[in-house]
Amino acid sequence: METEQFERAPKPTKAETESLSFQLAILKDELEHIQNTIARMDEITQTTKNWAILVWGGSVLLALGDPVLRDYLFFTALLPLLFWYIDGRWRYLQRRSSFRARKISQFLNDGRLTDSFQMGKLTNFTVYDPIGSQYDAKKDPDYANYVSMRKALSYAEVMGFYGALVLVSIFLALIF
């Protein structure tokens, strides 16, 4: 029955067809922008880890090297926690872009693209929103779950990395 409706729909005008082509080109650019953003966020999180090791390791060595500072060795466990939060914040932003890429994929594959060609314009989709600012965590539980800060902080590799630094600090503080 839906196909009959589209068969009876007027053929899109040249302007509508050109507009659709332009919107699809923007959508393609958006996907490339999202991929670049995700790659950049990966670099930032790696840099955050590098700085965490540098600052934490330097603090631990400084505290171990000076008998007066050994009493403060326990506080070096706070440094990885701070960097963990910073890393999680970047991952949170990365997940927003990743969610948007998922939405674009769904649009391209669930029939709305075909409907758009038949109508001569994008149907039920916003063009160019690389960080997904149109989605509302209060109204969309899927979005809220996918981009939650809790999820961003709970990646196994991230928890293991920063958790190990915290444990080493605590262990050293107990020994010394």
Q: What is the rounded distance in angstroms from the CA atom of residue 104 to the CA atom of residue 25?
A: 13
- Is 54 in a helix, a strand, or coil? helix
Amino acid code (one letter) for 102: R
Per-residue pLDDT of 119-159, as tens digits, reads 888 888 888 888 888 998 888 999 999 999 999 999 999 99
Backbone φ, ψ for residue 114 (5° rounding):
-60, -45
- Burial, 91: exposed, middle or buried (Cβ in 10 Å; 0-12, 13-18, 19+)? buried
Selection from 21-25, 26-30, 100-104, 164-168 with the highest mean pLDDT: 164-168
* Each residue's pLDDT tens digit, 43-52: 999 999 999 9
- Beta-carbon contacts of 42 under 8 Å, excluding residues fewer than 6 positions away, are 94
Distance CA 58, CA 55 (A): 5
Predicted TM-score (pTM) of the model is 0.82
Distance CA 56, CA 82 (A): 10
